[in-house]
Structure 1
Amino acid sequence: EIVNLLLCGQAVPNVFDGRMDLGGGMFLKGIPTFVEVGFLSLLESLNLCKVGQYLKCPKWPIWVVGSESHYTVVFALDTSVQDENEFEKREAEIRRAFDAQDQSGGGGFISSEKLQHVLRETKVNMPPEMLENLASTAFIVWSEFWHALLQLDKSLGGMKDATGLIGKKQFDLYHFNGIAKAVSNGNQLTEGETLQQRPRLTELSVTVPPRWRPEEFLVELTPDLSNEQGEKDGNVEVDQPERSQHAPLVDCIRTRWPLAVCSWVGDAPSIV
């Protein structure tokens, strides 16, 4: 509540958008409107909460990052990292409509009865056979719904991208941890030398790939062993994937930019 009070001016107990109707006149209160400084949480990457778009898309590209025990800050110097293309705006619109019907507390699923409401609100004309497959169970998970939209033509309100190139971004983020951490900058220590203790500021290079489905992204990053010899001989040109490094901070960044690939120089950024 204290963090939300500082970010949005209200000490609400949840981080989702708006409020959640539990029925019987009972509501759970979340973030009421867009904010100037945002919030990302490691707990969301563990599926323990759902941070809404109000906190993920603040006015300025600055986010408080919450871990199990500590708060740090990640920010960008270029405000264009917040710019949305047509694809992202449409995705955000559909996600807001989906989340408005999600009564699980951020679990990312809705009942089958709520699906028609989401389709009407987002003007999606889903073919009967696709609709039947999607609504074959009592609940519909966001990932399955999104997967179906990626296969549905734009003329029907879907998100199918024939080029596979919509939405790719490259930008830099900076992470600041105010608690003194050991910093080696990737260098070997000489005998008798001790690590400096000071707050950490780490620059991260971030590449957000086109909005492929996750399985397509993994296939794209998986090397084709059958072409390995040809690559060695220089007979085959292959686009090399971006250099990827991992730390818990990357999991937080991916709650804002799914499938983001991050890299940095020196020690991994710490959020604890």
Structure 2
Amino acid sequence: MPSSETQSIRMESEIACSLVSKERSGLTQAELSENAARELQEIRKLLWGPNIRVDVFRRWSQGFEFSDTEPSALVQKEGGPCAVIAPVQANLLKILIMDTPGHFLKDLTQDKCRHLLIQALCAILSKCCAKRFRIVSLPMEQCTEAKEVVNAASDIPDVKLSTETLEEATTEPVDASAATTVRVADAREVSSDAYHEGLQVLNFDTIEEVEKYYTEHWQVLSGQYGVMLFLYSVLLTKNIDNVISELSDTSEPLIHNTYGYGSQALINLMLTGRAVAHVWDNDQDVGGLKLRGINEQSDIGFITLMEQMRYCTVGSFYKNPKNPVWVMGSETHLTVLFSTEKRLVSPETPSELARRVFKSYDPEGNNFIPADVLQDVLAALDLVNEPEYVEIMQKRLDPEGLHIILLNAFMDEFFPQEQRSTPDTFDLMHYNGIPGSNEGNKVGYCKGSAILLESDLKSVCISNPMLTCLQTKWPNIEINWHDMRIPSLN
């Protein structure tokens, strides 16, 4: 296997693929190059479908870029790539909060934020690694020149970037200082075909080598196609066959071919390393069809407004992650919720476990279950569940014979000394990467003070989707945002 120094030389020489030796692989260089090209074409089809819309590809063509006002907050320039940016931001915040506590968010240096970003990317890649890490890149000048020329053009008065010519590819540089109108194609924002033709694959045995590569080649991440290059690296590292085997349906692309947003399978891949299409716990059998869900407690959580709309059911593995960081989903966008309060992810108390199990038999969120499933609930909680005992308890918990068991009655009977692991009050922070969704068009973090009320009754407020989404995780939450402006989920 080539040393890291040899790999670096090959990278700088813009070799198409960093290859394992012929003795170890049994394949010639031409065969390995052909395999990489085939895999990249399969990834292209899986991501985009048979055709790539010009406007969708353009919206995804951005690098990882930090906010001018919040050093650790990533900027999302247009709608679409939040399926990558939000999970990356969530992992970055997890590392910052849980692994390197004590930092003041506003005091982070540029070098520290870059290091955190690279660590976040490596964390995602590590979850997806099948055999080795396979990093997709472009020749170095293609990573940098597009961004530099576009930035230069944006400083010129009356410069217009036309998307109509986006499909034109050119290799001729533009003299931005002499231009009054700069075409996107001239600024090296190339067509999707030209982008894919230029891709190269680099192989690494360890995540430390990947981290070193990204550190020494920052422009791969910050350049015009940094977000897409990382996405392709995730899929190639995961192995395209593994991705396909986890998807329940490959007829629809992972990126919507009209609106450009990422599918739930893509979001799950970025958060858990598995490209499953559903957000419930474990696999479910629906009419004989096995539908895959989240198979273990996630490092990063996920909650969504779509659950309140009854479009999905988010399981405990996502709602109760290992770290107090959640990606939040709306109808069109992904944002991030986080907290420094570690007790938000403390182990469940027996009463909290009982509530969760009870509610798993109450998918509509009515706070009651049919009386005939009481035995199943008791069995799931390892409580006495012999038929004679269950019959006595049904009569006791349902004295009016309504054939339902209320949550409060159940808890009062079996867990009268109910305790919470979650504090009654705590602070939450929210991130939205789109400038226009932030105060003053500046991407930053919004802070709020939350309180969990005594009652389980919740008030659904259609005009406050943020609160509605939070209530899918904490049904009795109320929150006051410090700047008096409710953060946007879109």
TM-score under structure 2 length normalisation: 0.39
Aligned equivalent of 2:447: 203
Point out the structure with the larger helix share: 2
Q: Is the 8 A contact 1:130 1:148 kept in 2?
A: no
CA shift for structure 1 position 149: 1.2
Aligned equivalent of 2:474: 257
* SS of the residue 2:356 aligns to: helix
Residue 129 in 1 paired to residue 388 in 2? no
Distance 1:264 1:70, change over 3 A: same
Distance 1:111 1:178, change over 3 A: same
Identity of aligned residues (%): 30
Distance 1:19 1:114, change over 3 A: farther
* SS of the residue 1:147 aligns to: helix
Q: Distance in 2 between matches of 1:59 and 1:269?
A: 25
Equivalent AA in structure 1 for residue 319 of structure 2: K
Distance 1:136 1:38, change over 3 A: same
1:147 to 376, 394, 408: 408
CA shift for structure 1 position 53: 0.7
Q: Superposed, which structure 2 residues align to 1:1-272 within 5 Å?
A: 1-22=265-286, 25-84=288-347, 86=349, 89-96=350-357, 99=360, 106-107=363-364, 113-122=372-381, 123=383, 127-130=393-396, 136-137=402-403, 145-152=406-413, 158-161=414-417, 169-181=424-436, 196-210=440-454, 212-214=455-457, 247-266=464-483, 267-272=485-490
Equivalent AA in structure 2 for residue 178 of structure 1: G
Distance 1:135 1:49, change over 3 A: farther
Distance 1:179 1:5, change over 3 A: same
Q: Distance in 2 between matches of 1:98 and 1:135?
A: 21
Q: Distance in 1 between matches of 2:402 and 2:408?
A: 15
Equivalent AA in structure 1 for residue 411 of structure 2: L
Distance 1:66 1:263, change over 3 A: same
CA shift for structure 1 position 118: 1.8
Q: Is the 8 A contact 1:150 1:213 kept in 2?
A: no
Larger radius of gyration: 2
Give the total of aligned pairs: 213
Q: Distance in 1 between matches of 2:415 and 2:316?
A: 19
Q: Is the 8 A contact 1:37 1:58 kept in 2?
A: yes
Q: Distance in 1 between matches of 2:355 and 2:339?
A: 26
CA shift for structure 1 position 111: 6.2
* SS of the residue 2:337 aligns to: strand
* SS of the residue 1:178 aligns to: coil
Runs of 5+ consecutive residues of structure 1 not aligned to the other structure: 153-157, 185-195, 219-245
Runs of 4+ in structure 1 off by over 4 angstroms are 106-113, 131-137, 164-168
Q: Is the 8 A contact 1:97 1:121 kept in 2?
A: no
Q: Distance in 2 between matches of 1:176 and 1:269?
A: 8
Aligned CA-pair RMSD: 3.2
* SS of the residue 2:375 aligns to: helix
CA shift for structure 1 position 200: 3.8
* SS of the residue 2:395 aligns to: helix
Runs of 5+ consecutive residues of structure 2 not aligned to the other structure: 1-264
* SS of the residue 1:175 aligns to: strand
Equivalent AA in structure 2 for residue 37 of structure 1: I
CA shift for structure 1 position 151: 3.5
Q: Is the 8 A contact 2:397 2:409 kept in 1?
A: no
Q: Distance in 1 between matches of 2:312 and 2:397?
A: 28
Distance 1:135 1:22, change over 3 A: farther
Q: Is the 8 A contact 2:335 2:432 kept in 1?
A: yes
Q: Distance in 2 between matches of 1:167 and 1:10?
A: 29
Distance 1:166 1:76, change over 3 A: closer
Q: Is the 8 A contact 1:19 1:28 kept in 2?
A: yes
* SS of the residue 2:277 aligns to: coil
Point out the structure with the larger strand share: 1
* SS of the residue 2:435 aligns to: strand
